Amino acid sequence: MAFRLAALTVTFAILGGYWSRNQETLCRCRPGDDCWPSKATWDQLNETIGGNLAQLRPVGAVCHEADYIESACNDLIQNYRNTTWRVENPGRFQQTLGNIGERKSKVVTLKIPPESSQCHQGRVSHYSAYVQSVAEVQHVVRFAASHRLRITIRNTGHDLAGRSSAPNSLQIHTAGLKGIHHMDSFTPHAPVGQSVIPEGPAVRVGAGVLTVDLYSAAADGGFTVVGGSCSTVGIAGGWIQGGGYGILTPSRGLGVDNLLEVGVVTAEGEYVIANQYQNHDLFWAIRGGGGGTFGVIVDVTMRTYPDTPIVVSKMNIISPDGADNVFWNAVTDLLHTIPMLVDRGDAVQAFAMPILPDNAAFLTIESYLINNTHPGGQEALDDLRDRIEAHGLSVQSSEESFDRISSYLALPKGLEQAGIGMMAASRLISRDLMVSDDGPSHISQTLAKLTFSPGDVVSLEGMVGGPAVQRSGAEKRATHPSWQSAWMSLSLGRGLPSVPDWATYNRVQHELATTQLPALEALEHGMMGGYLGTPFPYEAHPSKVFWGSNYDRLLDVKAEWDPEDLFMTRMGIGSERWDDEGICQVNLLDRHLWPYLQHVQVRLFSFLDHIHDSI
């Protein structure tokens, strides 16, 4: 027995030492750990970046008893739906609850007198470094690396999968990296002696420049640039690094197709310039590999175009009988029309709300006739309106012409919605399916079979592909190869309650994961990818959905530029090596060796027992 006890002690000593050593090296440093920086150390970082280090609390903490501040709570109640207000504070997110960025924090109690329950930190970063220069970004990156901290990169808080937040993390807040510089002729940086071809007109923007700021500068300067639809999204953040599309995409390409150069702070804290002449592997990876993954983007240089006229046409259709066959037939008609317009280089953005509070259904269609040199686009829209009215539905339509598309883009659109609960999922739809005989009806009937609730939205965006995207070539970008054949993005936006309701959250998540997203996936037998900008936060196979055959190459670039995974996001490149929060590595050796060693231990004891019995 003494011999067996000694063997047991030795075995567990070996396993325990192995386990503790690996846990120490495979996890980020967290509050309470010996490696977590002291207050004095945090104060030193604060001094280094000009006093712009802030300790964060969830947005709703000021309305809870322990952190109650009456003026701040009143401010929260007044601005809860204000997207600009949320952009400016690093502890706020644009979407709540369903967004995993706020889902684990109690942040939405809006009561005076204050709520007495505790407001937990959840996934809100402990500290935020508001950086305003390359040097400050370098300081923060090196600080995080030296202390083995979890880094998150946050610009405006629009991420729908919680990738700009993580528990126990240090946030790099890039909203202060401003600057817009338009050039009549841009020449990329290149190694000395290498021949360089000028790229023509371009604009360099800092990572903190909002879409509305760039559009306004373009209107003043008389040029256009490919950007998105939401005015408070940072143009150089996750939008462009995820591919980036907008109403100019069919005629001018994706955001990444127009990216000419990127300034990046790497995991080593070095500032490098990536373009087609230098660091081209990094340049390729950033063009679709996802934000917060390969480094901190400081600035981007994008191609610009001359101004052009645009005709914006709108149709609003209400089906008083709800989402019946007539309603989905109207959606089918729309799906027939979208490729006609995208083929011309025009764009369409449509939203269907199958269930309104009064049980009616609503469809709104906004078309952008950019190449309006012949009447084909308007004829297609007139025919669409006639077909919808032939179903017995009333169509309210309008049309507005602009001499300069930059003037239209700079206008406030009134579509900014903040502080709402939303869980999204998306798949790209190919042109081949949309122009096939039964493709449009197959898509609409698939949607008709899904279960919807009030507040849910189906987005049909004919602006993700087109002639310009095909001309650019799939090999130049890291996005899923199916972008080359995609003509539409089909997204499901599931509305969530504005107060904590975990049963509803779990139900919606389950429906998306087991019924609705598989239905979209089956439309083209899993061949089409999804858009990083509207992701399902719980994708089972994100590498397949967002990058497909490009994933292995992206892993190689990640290993070269960030071998320690300092930059990590949920569902990002290499995230399968980490737990869901990016705190501890999922050590495959631990996972498989621990049960094996336990089996060896059992066999060892059996052998020792046999020897003992023999003696």
Residue 551 has pLDDT above 80, yes or no: yes
Residue 23 has pLDDT above 50, yes or no: no
Residue 615 has pLDDT above 90, yes or no: no
Position 572 in a domain: no
The tokens describing 135, both together, are: 């040097």
Q: Within this chain, do residues 165 and 225 fall inside the same structural domain, yes or no?
A: no
Position 219 in a domain: yes
Domain closes at, from 306, 341, 376: 306
Provide the domain count of the chain. 4
Q: Within this chain, do residues 395 and 518 fall inside the same structural domain, yes or no?
A: yes
Compare 412 and 393 and report the one with higher pLDDT: 393
Residue 100 has pLDDT above 70, yes or no: no
Q: Within this chain, do residues 208 and 97 fall inside the same structural domain, yes or no?
A: no
Compare 586 and 202 and report the one with higher pLDDT: 202
What is the band of 209 on the pLDDT scale with cuts at 50, 70, 90? very high
Q: Give the pLDDT mean for 325-329.
A: 97
For the entire predicted model, the pTM comes to: 0.86
pLDDT at 505: 85
Residue 589 has pLDDT above 60, yes or no: no
Q: With residue 408 as reference, give the H or E element that holds it.
A: helix 405-409
pLDDT at 397: 95
Position 502 in a domain: yes
Q: Within this chain, do residues 90 and 205 fall inside the same structural domain, yes or no?
A: no
pLDDT at 30: 93
Position 589 in a domain: no
CA nearest neighbour of 421 among 504, 488, 301, 311:
504
Q: Within this chain, do residues 201 and 282 fall inside the same structural domain, yes or no?
A: yes
For the chain, give the mean pLDDT. 85
CA atoms within 13 A on the CB side of 18: 13
Residue 454 has pLDDT above 80, yes or no: yes
CA nearest neighbour of 102 among 420, 335, 388, 359:
420
Q: Within this chain, do residues 367 and 498 fall inside the same structural domain, yes or no?
A: yes
Q: Within this chain, do residues 470 and 365 fall inside the same structural domain, yes or no?
A: yes
CA nearest neighbour of 288 among 263, 324, 314, 259:
259
Q: Within this chain, do residues 187 and 165 fall inside the same structural domain, yes or no?
A: no
Distance CA 388, CA 554 (A): 45
Position 98 in a domain: yes
Q: Within this chain, do residues 238 and 298 fall inside the same structural domain, yes or no?
A: yes
In three-state form (DSSP H/G/I as H, E/B as E, the rest C), the secondary structure along 223-243 is EECCCCCCCCCEHHHHHHHCC
pLDDT at 503: 87
Q: Which residues contact 579 (CB under 8 A, 6 or more apart)?
A: 585, 586
Residue 24 has pLDDT above 70, yes or no: no
Q: Within this chain, do residues 233 and 360 fall inside the same structural domain, yes or no?
A: no
Domain closes at, from 264, 290, 306: 306
The tokens describing 459, both together, are: 């987005």
C-alpha of 148 from chain center: 25
What is the band of 114 on the pLDDT scale with cuts at 50, 70, 90? low
Position 489 in a domain: yes
Q: With residue 396 as reference, give the H or E element that holds it.
A: strand 394-402
Q: Which string of b and e fits 388-419 if b means at least 16 CB within 10 Å?
A: beebebebebeeeebebbbebbbeeeeebebb
What is the band of 143 on the pLDDT scale with cuts at 50, 70, 90? very high
Q: Give the pLDDT mean for 251-259.
A: 97
DSSP 128-149: EEE--SHHHHHHHHHHHHHTTP
Residue 524: CATH number of its domain: 3.40.462.20
Domain closes at, from 273, 306, 339: 306
Residue 102 has pLDDT above 70, yes or no: no
Q: Within this chain, do residues 189 and 203 fall inside the same structural domain, yes or no?
A: yes
Position 566 in a domain: no
Distance CA 385, CA 393 (A): 10
Position 520 in a domain: yes
Find the domain containing 120 and state its range: 39-129+144-172
3-state secondary structure of 252: helix
Q: Give the pLDDT mean for 143-163.
A: 84
CA nearest neighbour of 464 among 490, 495, 439:
490
Residue 382 has pLDDT above 90, yes or no: yes
Q: Within this chain, do residues 188 and 268 fall inside the same structural domain, yes or no?
A: yes
The tokens describing 256, both together, are: 């990444």
CA nearest neighbour of 301 among 175, 403, 199, 156:
199
DSSP 441-504: HHHHHHHHTS---TT-EEEEEE-S-SHHHHHH-GGG--S-GGGGTEEEEEEEEEEE-SS--HHH
Distance CA 296, CA 88 (A): 19
- Cβ pair 186, 199 in contact under 8 A: yes
3-state secondary structure of 1: coil
Q: What is the largest CA-CA distance in the chain?
A: 100
CA nearest neighbour of 428 among 470, 472, 464, 476:
464
